[in-house]
Amino acid sequence: MAGEILDNKGRGEAGWNWPAIHPEGRKFGLIAAAASIFVLLVLGWELIGWPMLLASAGVFAFFRDPERVVPQSDAAIIAPADGIVTRIETVEPPLELQIEDGSGHAGLPAGLVTRVSIFLSVFDVHINRTPVGGTVRRVVYIPGRFISAELDKASEENERQHILVERSDGLKVGFTQIAGLVARRIVPFVKPGDILAKGQRVGLIRFGSRVDVYLPAGTDAAVMIGQRMIAGETVIATIGQRGLIEGIAQ
């Protein structure tokens, strides 16, 4: 199905398939499985070995990398991560995405914008995707703490990585991968100068985390607190569109 064009008029074919396991996670799954088999067959510790084998299957599942159908509308900004929207706030973008970095490419302009925060549990897909297509202008890694990613101060205190993407029309969208209480490693797939298609994979965060998206000025979120996101598919905003959207939990 990869590369196939699908639409809302019935074009294309789709069916359920086992999701691929990202290469970054295969080694962890194989190590966990090998340790489980050793405990089971060599040591004979079934009480420990069977739970370990089950846990190794969970490791493979954590690194699953399913295909996604990416909306191609130029106005659409899509979710960079699977998970739950836990915060929608008006904030200043991080300084790392604003200040001059010597590259010759301007960062995000100063001023208040809408930030959408998506929390990923250990059960979510942890492959992150770019919310817009364009050229990667910045990838800024910042070491830090590992407090719960659900807390607001995680945006400023935790280990994190800022990514800035500039579209061909000059519009810039920044987003931040934030390590959490369990997550201990942010793995980038891109570097400055790379040209990305909308929804392309940009990295992963191991074992529970958060991703913040900074929408362009004059654009409100098209999602609500508590709504579940699907990376590469859910439209979180339409450029230039504003207004209140309400939902009822039921």
Active site residues: 209
- Is the separation of the CB atoms in 60 and 25 below 8 Å? yes
Residue 138 CB partners (closer than 8 Å, separation 6+): 96, 97, 101, 103, 105, 107, 162, 163, 164, 174, 192
- Is the separation of the CB atoms in 137 and 102 below 8 Å? no
